[in-house]
Amino acid sequence: MTERYDVIIIGTGAGGGTLAHTLAASGKRILLLERGDFLPREMDNWDPKPVFVTGKYITKDTWYDEAGKPFQPQVHYFVGGATKLYGAALYRLRPADFGEIKHVDGVSPAWPLSYDEFEPWYTRAEWLYQVHGAHGEDPTEGPWSKQYPWPAVSHEPRIQQLADDLSAGGYHPFHAPCGIMLDEARRPASTCIRCTWCDGYPCLVHAKSDAEVIAVRPILDQPNVTLLTGAEVIRLDTDAAGGSVTGVAVQRDGGQETYQADIVALCAGATNSAKILLRSASDAHRRGLANGSGQLGRNYMFHNSKAMVALGKERNDTVYQKTLSVNDFYLPGNGREWPLGNIQMLGKSNAEAMRGEEPHLTKLAPQWSLDEVAAHAVDLWLTTEDLPRPDNRVQVDRDGQVRLAYTPGNAAEAADLYKEVRKMLNHAGLAAHHMLDKNYYMKMNVPIAGCAHQAGTARFGTDPATSVLDVDCKAHELDNLYVVDTSFFPSIGAVNPALTAIANAIRVGEHLIQRLG
């Protein structure tokens, strides 16, 4: 079957879903090709066992590490992509992240755009994704042209106490930007019920600002928009000269179909977009489509992150915990030569999730002890910037399977951040636990399979010799191929990537509207 559209968008996550939303009003014929289906709304959405222990919503794909060892990547194939499971912490990169930053392990390169050039798209993204927050609280943030559309989500008592203790200790906690549909002034009428099942869980009541709910569902009744689910793109074909994509090959319902469009936007996520382009090698593009620079698949980043549980004497009965963040160590200074990163809260821990995430550590622990730990736990997420290293890369083997080579970077910065957080928490009354009678911090490093923040495999830039995409995210070597997911990041900063992917998709969408007339 061959059908022709104005734009084909491959993938419906933060990048693809938002791009489709931006283009929909133009009236152009848009085809969305999504490998997954709609995520079912079912009680399992809010059950830690299927979500964390049996991994019900994680793909059954097998990827291989550099040594050929198989692993199950924590990626999610649904309408809405990874945002169906994300924590909806929607941060802007800081202005410094758009420039060059020296790190202990090397240099984080500058973007071809400045923060000021990107700022309007951040504002559009925050308004589209209904972000709650308070611009002006965090000393590291850049200028903003519009306040958030919603006030910051209020802290619950334990977190308010933490914020007060940190402020008294000279730190600068701020309200974290959250993409949830909570109207605290009219709580009963609000879609969000302020539950604990947000970070890492699908939202049963569709009150999380994910790409399905915010971007894809609202455009599906438009006659110019077609969504095909269960449609896995396996290859892009070009004309003989290799200058234009002429066909998108799709596996669906056990057969193969081909679709055509004037513009093809690849938004399958940083690893899968690289995989599709590498698998599309041809006589005109021997090393993979759009890979004249040899950079495609390289510079894979996913943050040097740690989940951390601090146990206090007092109970922590917080339900929605993700309201606080600290950037006091985000930039170098105060005697520190390197930036260390961002500190934010995680969703509230529970015993089942601990078992799922740390099976070896918790195997022998009786249920009551884990319940007790969870009742006193304050859960944090520490993020240090990862560097774009050429050898951290996605490749495909002879069978077309993903091989992911990855060595984490900036370990010394991550270790220093952890030390600073321990000091900081001691200031905040998290110094003694009544069971353990001493400081007890449990920390968990994120392994290669935890590729939630994957980015960088097709970076944008002005020089075709060192980048895959131009500043509009069009492949340097093809006239109608765009990549509009987190692949385009030349560096990743130390805050969560989704808002930047969303803002960029709006930016590229507006460019395409101009281009298509």
Ligand X SMILES: Cc1cc2nc3c(=O)[nH]c(=O)nc-3n(C[C@H](O)[C@H](O)[C@H](O)COP(=O)(O)OP(=O)(O)OC[C@H]3O[C@@H](n4cnc5c(N)ncnc54)[C@H](O)[C@@H]3O)c2cc1C
Residues that bind ligand X (CB under 6 A): 10-16, 33-36, 76-77, 81-83, 85-90, 200, 232-233, 267-270, 272, 276, 452-453, 485-486, 496-499, 501
| Cβ at position 257, least distance to ligand X in Å | 12
The letter for the amino acid at 244 is: S
- Which helix (H) or strand (E) segment holds residue 310: the answer is strand 304-311
Cβ nearer to ligand X, comparing 39 with 421? 39
- Give the nearest distance from C-beta 70 to ligand X in angstroms: 19
Looking at the Cβ atoms of 14 and 203, the one nearer to ligand X is: 14
Number of Cα atoms under 13 Å in the Cβ half of residue 137? 20
> Shortest Cβ distance from residue 80 to ligand X (Å)?
6
How far CA 233 is from CA of 8, 180, 241, 272, in Å, comes to: 11, 31, 22, 10
Q: Which residue is nearest to ligand X (CB)?
A: 13
Give dist(CA 455, CA 448) in Å, integer: 13
Least CB distance to ligand X at residue 321 (A):
13
Q: What is the closest distance, in whole angstroms, from the C-beta atom of residue 269 to ligand X in the complex?
A: 4
If one counts every other C-beta atom within 10 angstroms of the C-beta of residue 434, the result is 11
Nearer to ligand X, 269 or 388 (CB): 269
- Residue (173 or 497) nearer to ligand X, CB: 497
The nearer residue to ligand X, 163 or 452, going by C-beta atoms, is 452
To ligand X, the closest distance from the beta carbon of 402 in angstroms equals: 11
Distance in angstroms (rounded) separating the CA atoms of residues 84 and 51: 12
Residue type, 3: E
On whether the CB atoms of residues 326 and 314 are closer than 8 A, the answer is no
Q: Which is nearer to ligand X, 311 or 512 (CB)?
A: 512
Q: How far is the CB of 309 from ligand X (least distance, A)?
A: 17
Q: Closest distance between ligand X and the C-beta of residue 290, in Å?
A: 16
Residue with Cβ nearer ligand X (10 or 405): 10
With respect to ligand X, which residue has the nearer C-beta, 182 or 311? 182
For the CB of residue 292, give the shortest distance to ligand X in the complex, in Å.
23
Sign of CA dihedral 317, 322, 323, 326: positive
Q: At what angle do helices 157-168 and 411-427 cross, to 10 degrees?
A: 100
Which residue's CB is nearer to ligand X, number 279 or number 427? 279
Helices (H), 25-141: 48, 115-128
User: How crowded is the C-beta side of 282, counted as CA atoms within 13 Å?
Assistant: 17
Q: Closest Cα to residue 11, out of 208, 206, 232, 225?
A: 232
CA 96 to chain centre: 20
DSSP 183-198: -GGGGGG-S----S--
Measured from the CB of residue 73, what is the shortest distance to ligand X in angstroms? 10
Q: Which helix (H) or strand (E) holds 490?
A: none
Do residues 196 and 171 touch, judged by C-beta distance below 8 A? no
Expressed in angstroms, the distance from the first to the final Cα of the chain is: 28
Within 8 A by CB and 6+ apart from 186, the residues are: none
Nearer to ligand X, 267 or 417 (CB): 267
> Alpha helices of 381-493 — where are they, by DSSP H?
411-427
Q: Which residues, 6+ apart, have CB-to-CB distance to 413 below 8 Å?
A: 103, 104, 105, 304, 338, 339, 340, 341, 384, 385
> Least CB distance from residue 375 to ligand X, whole Å?
24
Helices (H), 93-186: 115-128, 157-168
Nearer to ligand X, 35 or 103 (CB): 35
Q: Distance between CA atoms of 419 and 407, rounded to whole angstroms?
A: 22
Tell how strand 245-252 and strand 232-238 pair up.
Answer: antiparallel
User: Computed from CA positions of residues 406, 412, 417, 418, in that sequence, does the dihedral angle turn out positive or negative?
Assistant: positive
Nearer to ligand X, 205 or 449 (CB): 449
**Do 386 and 303 touch, CB atoms closer than 8 A?**
yes
Residue 433 Cβ, how far from ligand X at the closest point, in Å? 28
User: Are 258 and 379 in contact, with CB atoms under 8 Å apart?
Assistant: no
In this complex, which beta carbon is closest to ligand X, that of residue 301 or of residue 378?
Answer: 301
Pair of tokens at residue 515: 């281009």
CB of 15 to ligand X, least distance (A): 3
